[in-house]
Amino acid sequence: MSVKLFFEAIIKILLGFLIVGLLLFLPAGTMSYWNAWLLMGLLFVPMFVSGIVMMFKAPDLLRRRLYAKEKQNDQKKVIFLSALMFIAGFIIAGLDYKYVWTPLPHFVVIIATIIFVFSYILYAKVLRENKYISRIIHVEENQKVVDTGLYKFVRHPMYTSTIFLFLSMPLMLGSLLSFIIFLAYPFIIAKRIRNEEKVLEKELLGYVEYKQKVKYKLIPFIW
């Protein structure tokens, strides 16, 4: 285990926790925004645990997740739009809580929480199945096509899990306005997938054949 890798992972998780907290609690004007605590707990506690597990079991995967920096201009735009969506969505959720613009019933929050947890489990499963997963689009030396597990049903199961994960977040926060903002995510990720598949078809041996075998990108029988 690398001590440097350990501390950098912890620092990034704590920084993320701080930023999300500021984006939610400052607009809300209170620390009693219980929906925000619910989201942050379910988001960052598993993230911390999975980071520790990866540090011992798959340090290379953790290193790729921490240090990867996108070089393609199209993907930089995707990252920028995603960041803008999160910032706007969290701020609006906090303001929505403060001014009670579009509150959601408790049963919606509960259902969204269940979907969030299930999506997080799917995300973790994808990380276990594909050791080549990175935050950027590139093909590593000797990389092979992964066609087992969830990859037997869709070509991009990680993005499938993040769609449900991210769309459940504003509902957990109890804000319909925030949910409307987060509806931009499926369109953002569709743009990323189009570019990613061009790279994989060109650089990853066997990916064209894999596409012919697995027809759907995100959701079986739909797309």
| pLDDT tens-place string over residues 41-91 | 999 887 777 666 666 666 666 665 565 566 666 677 888 899 999 999 999
The SS3 of residue 196 is helix
Helices 3-28 and 59-67, axial angle in degrees (round to 10): 50
Answer yes or no: are the C-beta atoms of 219 and 154 closer than 8 Å: yes
Domain count, the chain: 1
CATH code: domain of residue 7: 1.20.120.1630
Please check whether residue 221 lies inside any domain of the structure: no
Q: Which of 82, 89, 44 is nearest to 180 (CA)?
A: 89
Domain that holds residue 98: 3-213
Query: Does residue 223 lie within any of the structural domains?
Result: no
Question: Residue 219 falls within a domain, yes or no?
Answer: no
What is the pTM for the complete model shown? Answer: 0.88
pLDDT in tens, 132-167: 666 556 666 667 888 888 889 999 999 999 999 999
Q: What local confidence, expressed as pLDDT, does residue 39 receive?
A: 96
- Has residue 59 been placed in a domain? yes
In this predicted structure, the answer to whether residue 24 has a pLDDT above a threshold of 90 is yes
Question: Cα separation of 155 and 137, whole Å?
Answer: 14
Is 220 part of any domain?
no
> What backbone torsions phi and psi does residue 78 show, to the nearest 5 degrees?
-60, -45
